[in-house]
Amino acid sequence: MRIAIVGAGVAGCVMARRLALLAGVEVICLERVVRDDHSEAGTGLNIGPNAVKALTAIDPELAESITRASYPWRNWRISLTDGAVLFDLPLARVAEGPGWRIRWSELYRVLREAAGCISYGCEITQIRRDPADASKTSIEWIQNGEDCRLDGIDLLIAADGRYSKVRRTMSGEPLIRHVGVSIFRLLVPDTSNGLIDDYEQWFNGPKKEPDALRAAYTPKTAPPSAQARWMIDVICENAGDTHWARMQEHEMLYRAAGCNILYLGDAAHGMVPTLGQGATQAVEDSSNAAELITQRYSRGDVNVEGWLQAFEALRAARMRFVMEFSLDATDTMLDGADPIKGTMHKNEEPFQSRLKSLYRDVGLPLDGNTQ
Ligand SMILES: Cc1cc2nc3c(=O)[nH]c(=O)nc-3n(C[C@H](O)[C@H](O)[C@H](O)COP(=O)(O)OP(=O)(O)OC[C@H]3O[C@@H](n4cnc5c(N)ncnc54)[C@H](O)[C@@H]3O)c2cc1C
C-alpha cells in the first residue's frame, strides 16, 4: 500500500511517524520548505490539554518529547489592563492535565525530527486522479531541480495547512467566513523578569499604530498594571514587526468526493484562533486518523474509502462543536461587545462545561466505535 502525505507540519508529522510503522505500507511525506527551515513559524502556540491527551494515547514517546521542549499550560487568566482580574481558571478544573506552551518553530523541529521520513524542498506541480484508477491519485513535484512523480497512491493525506493546494485542486475553493476581527502576534525577548508566567489575556481595545495602540491599551481611570505596562511598551516598541491576521474560518471537509484523499488539520477546517484550537485540532485529527488506520490495517482491512468514511463519521460532529465554540468564545472581541460582561459569563457553568467537553472528549481509543 502506498500513502503520500503533503505537508510536514503538525498533522503531517504525526501521521508520517505513525503510519511508517505499518508493515507493507510505503509512506512518502513531501514538504515545501527546505530541511531545518522553520522560520515561517516564529511565534508561540498554546496547545490545549485535549491534544496532549490524544497524542499521549497513540504516541506517548512523541508527546513526551513535546513536553520536554515546552512549558506547561496550567492556568488561563483574563484581566483588564488596570489589573482587575475577570477570569482565572486553573486548567485542572476542566481538563485531565496541562496543555503545552511552545514556540512554533520548536514544535516543528521536534515533530519533524521524530517523523524522520520527510522529503524537503518539494514544489508540487501537479495533483490529479490516477488515470489508471480514479480512486487513486498521482502527484508530480520538483526537488533539487529534478522532476519527480508518484502514481498509484492508495491514500493521499493533505496536511498542507490553511491554504491547502491539494484541497483547492481536488475539491475547489473552500467557503471562507470573516468574523470582522483582526489579531496580532509578536515574538519578543522576555525582559519582564517573569511578570507573565502562563497564558494571560488583557482587554482594552485595538488599532495598529504605536500611539493608537498605547492609547487603546492604557486604562483611562487607573494606571496600567505592571504586566500591562510591560506589554504596552513592548507592543509599541515593536509595532513594525507585528504579525497581523484577520480572523476567519473555512468550511469543514475531511475527504474528497470519489477519490481517496483525506484532509487533516487546517486543510480540513480553518478556524478562529480564540480558543487556541488550530494546532490542537491538527493533533487531535491526526491522532484519531493514525489510530483508526492502524487498527483497521492491522486487522487486514485495506478498504481505504471505508477508512475515510469512518474517520469522517468519527470527527465531523466533534469538529463542528469545536468550531462553533471557538466562534462563540470570540464574542468579547466583536465590534460593540462588552468584554467585561462577556468574560464574566465565561466563569459560569455553560461555558465551563463546554470547556470540559473541549479538553476531554478527544475520541480515542477507537476500538469498537469505528465499524
Ligand atoms: C500567528 C498564529 C498563531 C497561532 N496560535 C495558535 C495557538 O496558540 N494554538 C493553536 O492550537 N493553534 C494556533 N495557530 C494555528 C496553528 O498554527 C495551525 O492551526 C496549525 O499549524 C495547523 O496544523 P496543520 O498541520 O494543519 O498545518 P501546518 O502546521 O500549517 O503545516 C502545513 C505544512 O504544509 C507545508 N506545505 C504547505 N503547502 C505545501 C505544498 N504545496 N507542498 C508541500 N508542503 C506544503 C507547510 O510548509 C507546513 O509545513 C496559530 C496560527 C497562527 C498563524
**What's the CA gap between 102 and 44, in Å, rounded?**
6
Nearest to residue 40, comparing CAs of 163, 165, 179? 163
> Given the C-alpha cell 468526493, which residue does it identify?
257
Distance from Cα 11 to the centre of ligand 1, integer Å: 9
254-305 pLDDT, tens digit per residue, is 999 989 999 999 999 988 888 999 999 999 999 999 999 999 999 999 999 9
Atom 15 (ligand 1) nearest CA: 278
More confident residue, 331 or 111: 111
- Ligand 1, CB within 6 Å, residue ranges: 6-12, 30-33, 43, 45-47, 122, 124, 159-161, 165, 185, 243, 245, 265-267, 273, 276-280, 282
Atom 27 (ligand 1) nearest CA: 161
315-334 pLDDT, tens digit per residue, is 999 999 999 999 999 888 88
16's CB contacts (< 8 A; 6+ apart) are 5, 8, 27, 29, 115, 116, 117, 118
Distance from Cα 10 to the centre of ligand 1, integer Å: 7
What pLDDT shows up at residue 38?
Answer: 65
